[in-house]
Amino acid sequence: MGDTKKKLLIVCRRAPYGDKLARAGLDVALAAAAFDQDVALLFMDDGVWQLLPEQDAGRIDSKSQLKTLQSMPLYDIDTFHVDAAALEQRQLEAAHLEGNTEILQQQDLAEFLDSFDQVLSF
């Protein structure tokens, strides 16, 4: 039987709070990694807000996603890939983001996306 390990990319495009899609993307990443799939996360658009370390979700009566992000290395998801244009548009700096981040420039995104067997966007 051949190797069934797939390279899966979860694209996180939603802000961390306001709807359930942001959390759903992280949950899918954890579930796939728990089943020994090769999982990566790419944060684009408003999804880059998920990587800010100072989240006070209790103020909106919600659970913080920060702990979920901090647990990713336990599932061999060691790097968060981030769209440089999304950071620039939101006037955010990579140095202020949670976790080990790799910033991807626009010209590198297509090649990065093509390196995965499956891409799911949340």
> What is the CB-side half-sphere exposure of residue 26 using CA atoms within 13 A?
22
pTM score: 0.90
Q: For every one of its 122 residues, what pLDDT tens digit does the chain have, with 9 covering 90 and above?
A: 556 788 999 999 999 887 889 999 999 999 999 999 999 999 999 999 999 887 665 555 556 688 889 999 999 999 999 999 999 999 999 999 999 999 999 999 999 999 999 999 99
C-alpha 100: how far from chain center: 11
Q: For residue 43, give both structure tokens.
A: 């944060």
7-121 adopts what CATH topology? Hypothetical Protein Ychn; Chain: A, (3.40.1260)
Domain boundary assignment for the chain: 7-121
Terminal Cα distance for the chain, rounded: 32
